A and B are shown apart, each in its own frame.
Chain A
Amino acid sequence: MLVGGALVVVGTVVLGLIETFVGNPSPVPVTNEAGDVIASPTIPVEIRATLIALGLLVWGLYGVYKLAAPSGGESTPTGTAATTE
């Protein structure tokens, strides 16, 4: 969960912040009405998309692993919960 989430957050938030302040405020090239590119992204959109895709892949594989893994580690999937009045 942490690894996948970190990859997704890096691809969206972290690189997005860097891109916004040092490069292009948009992940894709910005053009004016004439179609000229007036700002280009510093970080290629493919790199960010790949990072996010890897994060989602980690989540998916972890879900499959939880289902297929040998029993023994089975617990409440959302963690332990204690009731307090």
Chain B
Amino acid sequence: MATMLEVNGLNHRYGSGESEHVAVRDLTFTVETGQLACIVGPSGCGKSTLLRCISGLIRPSDGEVRLHGDEVDGVPEDLAVVFQDYSRSLFPWLSVRQNVEFPLRWKKLSRAERRERAVEALEWVGLPGVGNKYPWQLSGGMQQRVSIARALARRPALLLMDEPFASVDAQTRFELEDLLRTVQVKHGSTILLVTHDIDESVYLGDRVLVLSKSPASIVADLPVELPAERDQIATRASSAFVSMRSEVAKLLHGSGTAGPVTAEGAPAAEDAPEAEQARADLTEADAAEQANTAGEPASKPH
């Protein structure tokens, strides 16, 4: 299998001197073509920074990112990002179809080809016939489908997703997870998805990369031993899923307590209920992080 993404010795620091904050420390990993890799990490560990470094939205302090062999410097042509906040990521003044067509406008495509691609992408995500609506006329889950369609319409070599399903209700999240897997299998897309949700990372991924708490570094790189065809009820109930989930939870929990992994917490106690607890903690902390980032733009002049 060819390598799509190579991340080598990636470091990122904000600020300098006393106020220096290391967000990402010495990250090295690769993603193979056609793979769906999930990065799971505790909140505020630098997941979003990592994703922004990979996408070229911010330049890492050290290290390099290569997309199909080419060094990333600025956002590559054949990369697309899906953000968590679909309501802000979609442009409210453009209709759904115009939103999907937006990133194709400066490609060498005729108007008809552009429209065709947009219609096609909307069909992939199961939204035919909503092209003329405005985003606010759709439900949250449908809006996130539109932003996935917009990313797919660009036919990216690599699709990056930053907590794409964190802002929709549980039922919709299950639907979108299955949709993503279907689309990925059908089109052989390479996807790197960042999440704080352990269950989601195991359910979706071909592979799970577990990050430590801030500064983010890789604790484990686990292949997901689940059948390619997944089912929200059967897969989640399977013993392979449950044991993998608690393994990831253990790793995250271990990295959550300060210092190296010690004998703290008997392994026997680390089964499903505790994993649930760890997940709840993560979600809570993540809400706090989001509240922080929401306040950030106001203080930062553009």
A joins B in a complex: no
Q: Residues of A with Cβ closer than 8 Å to B?
A: none
Q: Residues of B with Cβ closer than 8 Å to A?
A: none
